[in-house]
């Protein structure tokens, strides 16, 4: 007599260190191994005829780095920068890129059991920037697919 055996498998996620930052009162995270450094907001030289989310270029110790604004990239309302605004310099396939955020709040280790796939309702082609969601004691952290967020 044949029996159907259904193997229940669930993806086991590894722990990951995450840089958590704020945009419009929401918490987002990116893997720390992608972060080169975090710097205070500085003068950004605009580049004509670039996409709206491309803020321009910064000079970082003699190296020219393109900077994008995640608020604009995510279609969030534009706010005036504050003392807590930062540029997170990340490594990408195209080299180093600066990402403007409202504030960097913490670096934390997320355990595999805290990380879940994005619910189907919000997981569609309009939300290709979201990789997963992490649940901590008091908040949800949207984990970004950095490559998608940086893609032009």
Angle CA 109–36–76, to nearest 5: 80
Sheet containing strand 140-144, edge to edge, reads 103-110, 16-23, 26-31, 140-144, 130-135, 115-116
Tens digits of residue pLDDT in 88-109:
999 988 889 999 999 999 999 9
Q: Are 55 and 47 in contact (CB under 8 A)?
A: no
Tens digits of residue pLDDT in 135-147:
888 889 999 988 8
Q: Are 67 and 57 in contact (CB under 8 A)?
A: yes
Tens digits of residue pLDDT in 2-60:
444 333 334 557 888 999 999 988 999 999 999 999 999 999 999 998 888 899 999 99
Stated pTM of the model: 0.83
Dist. CA 97–CA 75, nearest whole Å = 19
CATH 2.20.25.10 for domain 16-150: no
């Amino acid at each position: 007599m044949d029996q159907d055996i259904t193997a229940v498998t669930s993806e086991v996620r590894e722990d990951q260190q995450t840089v958590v930052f704020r945009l419009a009162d929401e918490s987002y995270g990116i893997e720390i191994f992608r972060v080169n450094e975090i710097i205070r907001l500085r003068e950004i030289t605009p580049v004509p005829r670039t996409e709206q989310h491309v803020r321009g270029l910064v000079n970082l110790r003699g190296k020219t780095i393109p900077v994008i604004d995640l608020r604009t990239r995510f279609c969030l309302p534009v706010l005036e920068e504050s003392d807590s605004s930062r540029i997170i310099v990340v490594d990408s396939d195209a080299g180093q890129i600066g990402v403007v955020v409202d504030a960097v709040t913490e670096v934390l280790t997320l355990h595999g059991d805290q990380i879940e796939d994005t619910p189907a309702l919000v997981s569609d082609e309009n939300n290709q920037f979201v990789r997963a969601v992490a649940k901590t004691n008091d908040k949800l952290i949207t984990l970004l697919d950095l490559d998608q967020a940086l893609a032009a």
